[in-house]
Chains A and B, each alone.
Chain A
Amino acid sequence: MMDPAVFARSVMVIAEKNMRIYYFKGPVVVFGLLFPFIMFLTFFIGRDLDIVLFFPGFLAMMLFFTASSVGPLITPWEKREKTYERLLSLPVTLDSLILGDIAAGSVFGVIITVIVWGMCAVYLHLALASAAVLAAGLVLGALAFAALGTLLASTATDTPSTVMMLSSLIRLPLIFVSGIFIPLGQMTGWEQLLTSLSPLTYLVDLFHASLNGDAVYPPALDGAVLVLVLLAFIYGAKIIQKRNLVKGL
């Protein structure tokens, strides 16, 4: 029977290593920090748009990109640098590796998003309808999309740029079908159906509920979807990483 304390310790130690090493890597800074800013500024500058209306979408995009940018880098980077096998032979399991990677991605996402929200709230005098819902959205969104990042890292490659490309290929279309640039409340028919398929939609909606109080779905439903997505991504990452564990060692 596995000792839960040893398991928790291994998750934390892995997360600590990831934070020290990967937070300031080029691909994380470019794809995690600069990308959402540039996307939003491109959309916003020069147009007469209501910042309050679009801010929840921007915040969700920020959390989505930051949380999901660390995970894809870790495993391919470690395989390329030849540190992965040594890591596997330490007191860790595949589960603790996955959770450690998710923890690192989530913390990165939460820190950056809270800083952005804090600054914008002060300078733009943004409203806060429910701090509890905002906190729940931050935590659930960060975990779910950090898990997406870890799932993307499961591919059998030791080339980080390949995974970052794949990750952009999957993440970019999602921001266009998640109610970030077109408010969810203005969508009807097939547009609504399409957005309901994107997990990012539920985070955008949760932030709408917490900041402006104008959500389309009940917050409990948004939260439940994010939990389901988180579990699905963890399960997928575990299956694929197990299969690809020794590839590229």
Chain B
Amino acid sequence: MKEGGIFGFLGPNGAGKTTTIRLLTGVLTPDAGSVRIGGVDVHKDPLAAKLKMGVIPENSTVYGDLTAEQNILWTAKFYGLDRTTRELRAREILGRLGLTERKDDLVRTFSKGMKQRISIACAIVPSPKILILDEPTVGLDVQSRRLVIETVRQMNEEGSTIFLTTHNIEEANALCTTVSIIKQGQIIATGSPERLKKTFDTTQYVEISFGQPVEKELFGHEGIYRVERRGDKWRLYTDNPDHVVKYLGALAERENLVILSIATSGPTLEEAFVRLTEGA
């Protein structure tokens, strides 16, 4: 992982994303090989390695019996920050995450989104060199999700290297400088989102929606090799979009269908992900 970037780790359920995070954070010990954080082996000197990182594990939360501020101050103590710095950082982060007014409330009274914000506050309080986030936006409302993404970006601008796992392909596309796709414990592709998309340059499709309900069988054309229903639209994968567009025009006229929208598109990161992890 290059210093200073935002590294996204994508993979289907059970691919090994959380296991990788647990190896990085020293919770699991590798059977072979080693994990180095900023040049320090996590398993030989866990304390030195962990001092360089802030972590938000999946499905893990902060202490409900402590207040928002107590959670942050307590976490900062592990990193050896003096009292003045701890209090200053806690105030600054609480403000950044919109929690100043709730700082003295017990975390158990918070919503899931607010708890996740406190989790992030605790992870960034030491200004870590590496910020590790395991599915940080799962189950969050839109506001909390935006705040989390904004905080990740901000931390990266302030010099933290980010390692995050996500199911949200668009999030990875928008945030990450480098993405790795993992399948059954093996990295099967690594590159910038744009480079990964180009791997599937041949993947093109036409997306169409009609004013009337239609059946999948209607698209039985030799130039269309896959048909997917996407809400009120149909996505038709083809190697020759121009030809398919003409075919659809003729089809609509013949079947008396009203075309509400039609568009052609190139490959997406989601497409690259699906193609790479097929059968996982």
Contact of A21 with B66 at beta-carbon distance under 8 Å, contacts A83-B60, A90-B50 already known: yes
Expressed in whole angstroms, the Cα–Cα distance for A245 and B62 within the complex equals 18
Contact with A along B30-70 (1 / 0, CB 8 A): 00000000000000011110110101110111111110001
Closest residue of chain A to B64 (Cβ to Cβ) is: A81
Chain B residues lying within 8 Å of A91, measured Cβ to Cβ, are 46-47, 50-51, 78-79
Contact with B along A79-107 (1 / 0, CB 8 A): 00111111011111100000000000000
Query: Is B225 engaged at the interface, CB distance under 8 Å to the other chain?
Result: no
Expressed in whole angstroms, the Cα–Cα distance for A83 and B59 within the complex equals 9
Query: Is A154 engaged at the interface, CB distance under 8 Å to the other chain?
Result: no
How far is the CB of A172 from the nearest CB of chain B, in Å? 29
Among B60, B65, B78, B122, point to the contact of A92 (Cβ < 8 A): B78
How far is the CB of A99 from the nearest CB of chain B, in Å? 13
Query: Is B251 engaged at the interface, CB distance under 8 Å to the other chain?
Result: no
User: Which size bracket describes the interface of B in this complex?
Assistant: 20 to 34
- Judge whether A90 and B60 touch: CB under 8 Å: no
Segment of A12-20, A141-149, A195-203 in the binding face: A12-20
Query: Is B161 engaged at the interface, CB distance under 8 Å to the other chain?
Result: no
Query: Is A10 engaged at the interface, CB distance under 8 Å to the other chain?
Result: yes
Chain A residues lying within 8 Å of B48, measured Cβ to Cβ, are 2-3, 6
Query: Is B280 engaged at the interface, CB distance under 8 Å to the other chain?
Result: no
Chain B residues lying within 8 Å of A9, measured Cβ to Cβ, are 77-78, 80
Closest residue of chain B to A21 (Cβ to Cβ) is: B65
Chain A residues lying within 8 Å of B22, measured Cβ to Cβ, are 85, 246
- Judge whether A86 and B61 touch: CB under 8 Å: yes
Chain A residues lying within 8 Å of B79, measured Cβ to Cβ, are 91
**Looking at chain A's contact residues, is the secondary structure mostly helix, strand, loop, or mixed?**
helix
- Judge whether A16 and B74 touch: CB under 8 Å: yes
- Judge whether B75 and A82 touch: CB under 8 Å: no
How far is the CB of B18 from the nearest CB of chain A, in Å? 9
Query: Is B27 engaged at the interface, CB distance under 8 Å to the other chain?
Result: yes
Query: Is B26 engaged at the interface, CB distance under 8 Å to the other chain?
Result: yes
- Judge whether B77 and A88 touch: CB under 8 Å: no
Chain A residues lying within 8 Å of B53, measured Cβ to Cβ, are 89
- Judge whether B45 and A1 touch: CB under 8 Å: yes
Expressed in whole angstroms, the Cα–Cα distance for A9 and B126 within the complex equals 15
- Judge whether B61 and A83 touch: CB under 8 Å: yes
Contact of A82 with B60 at beta-carbon distance under 8 Å, contacts A6-B48, A20-B66, A21-B66 already known: yes
Expressed in whole angstroms, the Cα–Cα distance for A92 and B48 within the complex equals 10
Query: Is A7 engaged at the interface, CB distance under 8 Å to the other chain?
Result: yes
- Judge whether A89 and B51 touch: CB under 8 Å: no
- Judge whether B26 and A89 touch: CB under 8 Å: yes
- Judge whether A86 and B57 touch: CB under 8 Å: yes
Which of A1, A10, A20, A88 has the most chain B CB atoms inside 10 A of its CB? A88
Query: Is B119 engaged at the interface, CB distance under 8 Å to the other chain?
Result: yes
Expressed in whole angstroms, the Cα–Cα distance for A246 and B27 within the complex equals 7
Closest residue of chain B to A245 (Cβ to Cβ) is: B27
How far is the CB of B149 from the nearest CB of chain A, in Å? 20
Contact of A89 with B55 at beta-carbon distance under 8 Å, contacts A13-B74, A82-B61, A83-B60 already known: yes
Expressed in whole angstroms, the Cα–Cα distance for A16 and B79 within the complex equals 15
- Judge whether A93 and B25 touch: CB under 8 Å: no
Expressed in whole angstroms, the Cα–Cα distance for A84 and B58 within the complex equals 11
How far is the CB of A221 from the nearest CB of chain B, in Å? 37
Query: Is B28 engaged at the interface, CB distance under 8 Å to the other chain?
Result: yes
Chain A residues lying within 8 Å of B70, measured Cβ to Cβ, are 20
Chain B residues lying within 8 Å of A7, measured Cβ to Cβ, are 47
Chain A residues lying within 8 Å of B55, measured Cβ to Cβ, are 86, 89-90
Closest residue of chain B to A84 (Cβ to Cβ) is: B60
A-B contacts, 12 listed (Cβ < 8 Å)? A2-B48, A10-B47, A81-B61, A82-B61, A83-B60, A83-B62, A83-B63, A85-B57, A86-B55, A88-B25, A92-B47, A246-B28
B residues near A (Cβ < 8 Å) are 22, 25-28, 45-48, 50-51, 53, 55-57, 59-66, 70, 74-75, 77-80, 119, 122, 132
A-B contact sample (4 more), CB < 8 A, given A13-B74, A86-B61 = A3-B47, A3-B48, A16-B74, A92-B50
A residues near B (Cβ < 8 Å) are 1-3, 6-7, 9-10, 13, 16-17, 20-21, 81-86, 88-93, 245-246, 249
